[in-house]
Amino acid sequence: MSSPATSSDREKVVSKLPGWLRQDLKVRAAQHGVEIQTAVEQGINDWCNLASTPATIDTSGADSFSTFLPDGQWETFRNVAADRRISLIQGLAQSVQLWLDANPAPHIERPAITRRIIVCNQKGGVGKTAITAGTGEALAEDPNTLHAVRVAKALTKALRASEAQADAAEPAGDDPLDIENLPGPGLRVLLVDFDPQSHLTNQLGATPLPMNGDSLTNHMAGDPKGDLRDLIVSIDEENFGGRLHLLPACNDAFLLDVRLSQVRAREAALERALAPLEADYDVILVDCPPSLGLSMDAAAYYGRRRDGEKPGQSGALIVVQAEDSSADAYELLTTQFDDLRSDLQIDIDYLGIVVNLYDGRRGYIATSSLQGWVDIKDPRVVGLIGDLKEQKEAVRVKQPLLSYAPKSQQAIGMRALAREIS
């Protein structure tokens, strides 16, 4: 059956499709950036022009499916189906499958140079670990599954509305509008716990490395005890399909600055240690310690722009809160980066500022501080993550946030952040 459409010269068509085929159509259309109605239109057109009928598709369990088609196309389709003596449901299923076959899932675009993102701030407690994990999880999500994402324009909208939401019942960023279901990026991601406190390792349910064994610190200090690959663990393979890995921390990192002081070209120590792993990953995210010491120098150097790398591919993602002490720490960190740029003649790009644990209900301090971050402009604010319970719950049960609460506002915000810096 069909009924006139009100928005264009298309007509609404109501038929049936098997649930699995409808889901495949939804995902594939999103992967190619086309509307479902356009995909169905192309599929029906190609099906009607075939010289013979394709193989029969199992349509058992088919349920209601509606779309909009150009005026007259459904009538033409009905006539062809009648001539071929097949049901409309079978003909529609064949048409959709024909479009799927003609438009296979696109290949994942791999960066020519592994992206290196250092997540940093000299101040502790701002949530660098949560942002490192959430961003990495979002980048590694399944490309053949749709995930709720806050679209880019909503970030600006949320920032502008932050003051207005200060007196509201919920933190800024909880408006369900401007959310789109998109395929995961499907990238191969390595999370590096570079903080001796091991928060990232513990939050993701892994075990910190023993003091008497091998570690990233040993490799940076030029005293490796094995292959660094042997220390890497896979995170939640069921949800991330083996694309998300972690290099756990070791408490020996408390001694890293002392050991680096005795190493030649110490700024390049992290790069020397991680370089053999880069071919296995598209993105490496480093959860930095709250420090301005030699280890932070090494992290900043690792995130520098390399020859042949476009600006903004690698660099520093700075995590802050909407309060005054974060601003003081930010000034210290950027001064350190400026000194490194001058001393070593390197380019260190800022990927942006993430305002984490934000709650506009905290009043003037929160809203005015947020406005202060927005006013910086360069680097710009690329993420606004609310102070909500799901992240704390995920930490308590030692699960990735995007596995524990994939539809939460924090998860949606992490996906938006990952796309903002991609």
Enumerate the β-bridge partners of residue 409.
none
Q: For the range 89-93, what are the long-range contacts, defined as Cβ-Cβ under 8 Å and sequence gap of 24 or more?
A: 89/15, 89/16, 89/17, 89/59, 89/62, 90/56, 90/57, 90/59, 91/47, 92/15, 92/16, 92/17, 92/40, 92/44, 92/65, 93/17, 93/18, 93/21, 93/57, 93/59, 93/62
Angle between helices 73-84 and 36-48 (to 10 degrees): 40
Beta bridge partners, 17, equal 63
Q: Confirm if 295 and 289 have CB atoms less than 8 A apart.
A: yes
Q: Per-residue pLDDT averaged across 130-148, rounded?
A: 97
Question: 181-208 pLDDT, tens per residue?
Answer: 999 999 999 999 999 999 999 999 999 9
Q: What is the pLDDT of residue 157?
A: 59
Cβ neighbours for 200, distance < 8 A, ≥ 6 positions apart: 129, 132, 133, 191, 193, 246, 249, 287
Arithmetic mean of pLDDT over the chain: 90
Residue among 48, 404, 417 nearest 205 (CA): 404
Indicate the domain borders of the chain: 2-102, 115-420
CATH class belonging to 115-420: alpha beta
Q: What's the confidence (pLDDT) of residue 6?
A: 47
End-to-end CA distance of the chain: 44
**What local confidence, expressed as pLDDT, does residue 4 receive?**
45
Residue 32 predicted with pLDDT over 70: yes
Q: Give the pLDDT of residue 159.
A: 59
Report pLDDT digits (tens) over 301-326.
999 999 999 999 999 999 998 887 77
pTM beyond 0.85: the answer is yes
